[in-house]
A and B are shown apart, each in its own frame.
Chain A
Amino acid sequence: MPERVGLDELERLIAAGAQLVDVLPEGEYADEHLPGAINIPLKTLDARTTGGLDRRRPVVVYCWDSL
């Protein structure tokens, strides 16, 4: 079960080398995203598009908000 994290834990994970994945549509990612995040829109998440992620490192996903 994925862990739900807040800002403090997110910053700790980033400092520890976590990979950030923005799952918003491409245009929203292009406008603004968290530093270092890569874009894999939710509708495209599959084995091929996630192939560049390192499975040995934590992954943190985010979208716009909790709604």
Chain B
Amino acid sequence: MSPRAACRLETLGFPDVSDYVAGKADWLAHGLPREGEKAAEPRAIDLAVEDVVTCGLDDRVGEVRERVSASRYDFAFVVSANRVLLGRLGHPALEADPRLTAGAVMEPGPSTIRPDSTLEPLADRMRSSHMTTLPITDPEGLLLGVIRRKDLEAAVSGGPAPGVADCMLP
């Protein structure tokens, strides 16, 4: 649709026309600001937390385990140098030989959601799949944060978000 619109504008005498081919879907999937009647509806990115432990492929399991123990989570995400999500370190990977690298023991390709995911279907999906957290990535795979089912269910039910004491996972 937009290539035809761009061409039509040129035929109408506009000399400098560009076509954002990936469109609104791409913009929203990056979690960027939006306007409109539904813009105020909360999306996954609005509930994202960013304090999850991340590590690189070559980080040692023992070092990651220490950082996870000091966090309020029981897992870590493995990311590239530019924060593309590559894998997840949960149990039993975190109990592996501490000299091994994260890349050797990670679960590759964890399921992700987009920042503009709507809350109720997401809550249903997490509940039915028994998931307590899901990473949020943009279309290029960059890790933007994590959504927790507790926060999601609180938001959907209209109740208060869980406090920090309620955040230990799973």
- Chain A residues with CB under 8 Å of chain B are 1-7, 9-10, 13, 18, 21-24, 29-37, 42, 45-47, 50, 53, 55, 57-66
Contact = CB atoms under 8 A, between A and B. Distances in A.
B37 A31 contact: yes
Interface string B4-34: 1111111011111111111111111010111
- Interface of A: prevailing SS: loop
A57 B30 CA distance: 26
B1 A42 contact: yes
A7 B39 contact: no
B24 A64 contact: yes
A31 B19 contact: no
B18 A29 contact: no
A55 to B, nearest CB: 6
A65 B157 CA distance: 32
B16 A59 contact: yes
A33 B36 contact: yes
B71 interface: no
B26 to A, nearest CB: 6
A63 B24 contact: yes
A29 B23 CA distance: 12
B26 A21 contact: no
A65 B23 contact: yes
A30 B13 CA distance: 27
Contact of B19 (A22, A35, A53, A62): A62
Nearest to B32: A34
A61 B9 contact: yes
Contacts of A9: 18
Contacts of A21: 5, 9
